[in-house]
Chains A and B, each alone.
Chain A
Amino acid sequence: MINFSYTIWILLLPFLMFLLLGLAGHKLKPKLSGLLGTVGLGVITVLSYITAYKYFFTSEKIDNAYQKITAFNTVWLQFTDKLHIDIGILLDPISVMMLIVVTTVSLMVHIYSIGYMKGERGYERFFSFLSLFSFSMLGLVLATNIFQMYIFWELVGVSSFLLIGFYYQKPSAVRASKKAFIVTRFADLGFLIGILILSFNTKTFDFISLTNPAGASIIQGGKIAFLGLSVMTWSMILVFMGGVGKSAMFPFHIWLPDAMEGPTPVSALIHAATMVVAGVYLVARMFPIYYFSAPVALNVVAYVGGFSSLFAAIIACTQTDIKRVLAYSTMSQIGYMMLALGVSGYGGHEGLGYMASMFHLFTHALFKSLLFLASGAIIHAVHSNYMTDMGGLRKYLPITHMTFLVACLTISGIPPFSGFFSKDEILAAALDHNKFLFFVEWAVAGITAFYMFRIYFSIFWGKETQYHHTPHEAPAIMTIPLIILAIGAAVSGFLPFNRLVTSDGRAFETEINLAVAIPSVLIGLLGIGIAYVMYRKESAIPDKLAATFKYSYKWAYNKFYIDEVYLFVTKKIIFRYISEPVAWFDRHIVDGTMNAIANLTQNVSFRIREFQSGQLQKYGFVFVTGAIMLAILFIYLWK
C-alpha cells in the first residue's frame, strides 16, 4: 500500500495561502502576493502530478481495477454514533484526474493573471480569492462523502460569487454575481434535499459504500414513492438539480453568460474549466447509483444535457460578445458531457459514455481555458469584448492567433486534436444507446464548429478595423500559459483514458469508430466552411440571413427570452402574489404587534416617571403616608 497521506497538503496549502494573502496581502507588495499565490499553486500542482503518477502507475490494482483509496479521513461533526460528517481525501480515477485538471488550469491562470491583472486595484485580493477557489474546488473533487462535497460545493459557489463581483464598483458585475449566487443557490436547495433523502434511505454519506455496485445502498429505495417514481429516483433527480445549477444546464443556465462580467482569467478557471464541470463530476461520482437504482434519473441527465447543448449552441451563433459566445459554448460542451454520462452503461465497454464524458471534461478544460485566456489577451489588446470592434488581428497578435486557432480546431473536433477523440467517444456512446440524441449531438458538433470559426474569422480575419492605437501582443507571462495549454489541447487526445478513467476502474479497448468519426469530422468541416464563406471577408451574407430568418434570429439573439421568463415569473408572479402579501403581513401584523407593545410600554413609563420628581418633600410625604398606613395595619390587623 502506498502512502498517500501527504495529499492533505494539497488541500491545506491553498487554504493557508488564502489566509495569508487575505489577511496580510495588503501589507505585501502586489507583485510578491501574486508570486506567492502562484508558487503555492505550483507546489500543489507538483504534488498532484506525483499523486497521479503514483496512483495510476504504481498503486496496487485488485482484480485489475483501480481501487478507491481513502488517503485521509477524520470525523468533523459527530452527531450520534452513526450520524457523523467526515472530512477526508478520496483518491480514485476521476478524483485524481480532476486533481490534474484543476491544478493545471489553475496554475496556468495564476501565471496568466500576474500579467493580466497587473496594476489592477485589489491585486492581492484577486489572488487570495483564487487560492480560496482552488482550495474549495480541490476539496470538492477529493471529498470522501457527499456532505463534504456539498460543503465545498457551496464554497466554490462563494468563491465564484466573490470573483464575478471582483470589479465591485461596476453595477453590472454586482448584479451578475448576485444572479450567479442566487440561481446556483436555488438549485443547491434541490441538491441538499436530494442528499437528505438519499442518505436517509441508505444510512450513509460515504461515497465508497454509496457507490459500491454490490453494496446494500444500491438495492434499497426501489419502491414507488411519488408520481410513479421511486424514492431513489427522486433523490437522484434532486441531486442532479444541484449539478444543473452549477453546470449551467437548462433551465438554470441564465447565470453563466452574465458571470462573464468577472475578470477573464476567472472565467477561464471557474466558468469554463473547473467549477462548471462540478455538476458533471457529481453525476460521475454518483454514477453507479444512477445506473443501478435510478435509470430514469439517468435519462433525465441525458436529455437535459442533450437539450442544453443544442440550445446553447444555437444562441452562441448569434451573440457578438466573444466571452458570451464562449460561455454558451461552455454550456453546450458541458451538455455533451452530461449526455455522455446519461447514455452510459456500467463496466467495460458499456461504460464508454462515462469514460468519454471524463475524457471530454479533461480536454474541454484545456481547450476552453485556452480559449478564454486567448480571448483575454485579445480583449487586453483591443479593450472591447465585442466582435464588431475587432478584425484582422492576426497580424498584431500572432501567438494568440495560433493558440486560438488550435483551440478552435480542437473544439470543432478536427483530428488529430484532442477534441476529436473525446467528442468521437461521446458520439459513439450516444449512437450505441440513443439514436435520437446521437443526431442532436452530431448536429451540435457542426453548429459548434460554425460559431467557433465565426468568432475566429471575425476576430483574426474579416474586415480591417481601425484601432485607436495599434494592438500589441500580450507579454510573455500571458502568452506562455497560452502556448502550454495549446500544446495540451492539441496532444491530450492521445492520453489512454480507456485504461485510466473508467466506470468500474478496469481498462477496456476502444477504437476509432469510422462510422461515427467520418460524419462528425465532415459536419465539423462543413461548419467551418460556412463560417469561412460568411466571415472570412466582410460580406453581406450574415445580415441577409439574419433578415431572412428575422424572428428566429431575434429569438436566438435574445437567448430565447429565458431571462425574461425568469423575470416575469419572479417579479410578476412570485414577488407580487407571494412576497408582497407576506411582506405586508410582516410589516403590519408582526411588526405592528411588536410596535404596539413597545408603544404601550413607552406611554406607561412616561406616566410613571413623573413620580420621580426630585422633590424631596414629595418623597417624604409618600414615605410618611406609607409608614402611617403600615402602622395602622399593624395595630388593627396584627392579632
Chain B
Amino acid sequence: MNYGIPIQYFLVLATIMFFAGVYGFLTRRNLITILMSVELILNSVNINFLAFNRYLYPHQLEGMFFSLFVIAVAASEAAVAIAIIINIYRRFTTINVEDVDEMKF
C-alpha cells in the first residue's frame, strides 16, 4: 500500500513536536506555557498513534479511538490544570513556576 507519504515523515514530525514540548516544559517559566508544552507532547503522541494505526493495521480503529480518548483526557486535564494555575495565582500572585517552590525540605 502506498499513500505517497512515507511513515518516517510522521514519526519525525511527532519526534520534533515531542522534544519541542519537553524543551518547553523544562525551560519555560510561565505555567500556562508549560501547560501548552504538555499539550504539544500529547498531540505528538496522537500523531504517532494515528500513523501507526494507518500504516500497520489499516483495518482496525483502536489507534483512532485511542487518540480521541487522549484528546478528551487532554481537554479535562487542561481544565484541571488551569484551575490549579488560578489557585496558585491567588495564593502567590504569580504564575512563575520558579516562585512556586514551597514543597521542599
Contact = CB atoms under 8 A, between A and B. Distances in A.
A548 interface: no
B26 A612 contact: no
Contacts of B26: 617, 620-621, 624
A27 to B, nearest CB: 52
Contacts of A609: 105
Interface string A607-632: 00110111111001100100000000
B78 interface: no
Interface string A246-271: 00000000000000000000000000
Contacts of B98: 615, 617
Contacts of A613: 101, 104
Contacts of B97: 615-617
Contact of A624 (B22, B102, B105): B22
Contacts of B105: 609-610, 612
Contacts of A610: 105
A623 B26 CA distance: 10
A615 B98 CA distance: 6
B101 A615 contact: yes
B1 interface: no
The 5 residue pairs across chains A and B that have the minimum distance between CB atoms: A614-B101, A614-B104, A609-B105, A614-B103, A612-B104
Nearest to A615: B101
B75 interface: no
B28 to A, nearest CB: 8
Contacts of A620: 25-26
Interface in B18-69: 22, 25-27
B100 interface: yes
Nearest to B104: A614
Interface residues of B, number: 12
A231 to B, nearest CB: 66
A388 to B, nearest CB: 73
Contacts of A624: 22, 26
The interface centre, meaning the residue of B26, B97, B100, B101 with most chain A CB atoms within 10 A of its CB, is B26
Interface string A98-139: 000000000000000000000000000000000000000000
A616 B35 CA distance: 13
A18 B100 CA distance: 65
A617 B102 CA distance: 14
A607 B70 CA distance: 41
Contacts of A621: 26
Interface string B85-105: 000000000000110111111
Interface of B: 22, 25-27, 97-98, 100-105
Nearest to B28: A617
Nearest to B29: A617
Interface in A563-620: 609-610, 612-617, 620
17 contacts: A609-B105, A612-B104, A612-B105, A614-B100, A614-B104, A615-B97, A615-B98, A616-B97, A616-B100, A616-B101, A617-B25, A617-B26, A617-B27, A617-B98, A621-B26, A624-B22, A624-B26
Nearest to B103: A614
A617 B105 CA distance: 16
Contacts of B22: 624
Give the most central of B25, B27, B97, B105: most A CB within 10 Å.
Answer: B105
A615 B34 CA distance: 13
A624 B41 CA distance: 13
Interface in A529-575: none
A609 B103 CA distance: 12
A347 to B, nearest CB: 84
A620 B37 CA distance: 13
A485 B99 CA distance: 89
A169 to B, nearest CB: 50
B102 A614 contact: yes
Identify which of A612, A616, A621 gathers the most chain B CB atoms within 10 Å of its CB: A616
B15 to A, nearest CB: 12
A610 B98 CA distance: 15
A615 B102 CA distance: 9
B41 to A, nearest CB: 10
Interface string A363-391: 00000000000000000000000000000
Given A612-B105, A617-B26, 13 more contacts: A609-B105, A610-B105, A613-B104, A614-B100, A614-B101, A614-B102, A614-B104, A615-B97, A615-B98, A616-B100, A617-B25, A620-B25, A624-B26
Contacts of A615: 97-98, 101
B31 to A, nearest CB: 9
Nearest to A624: B22
Contacts of A614: 100-104
A101 B58 CA distance: 110
A615 B97 CA distance: 7
Contacts of A612: 104-105
A620 B38 CA distance: 12
A48 to B, nearest CB: 71
A336 B18 CA distance: 104
Contacts of B103: 614
B94 to A, nearest CB: 14
A620 B25 CA distance: 8
A614 B22 CA distance: 19
A615 B101 CA distance: 5
Nearest to B101: A614
A615 B100 CA distance: 7
B35 to A, nearest CB: 12
Nearest to A627: B22
Contacts of B100: 614, 616
Contacts of B101: 613-616
Contacts of B102: 614
A609 to B, nearest CB: 4
A620 B97 CA distance: 12
Nearest to A610: B105
B25 to A, nearest CB: 6
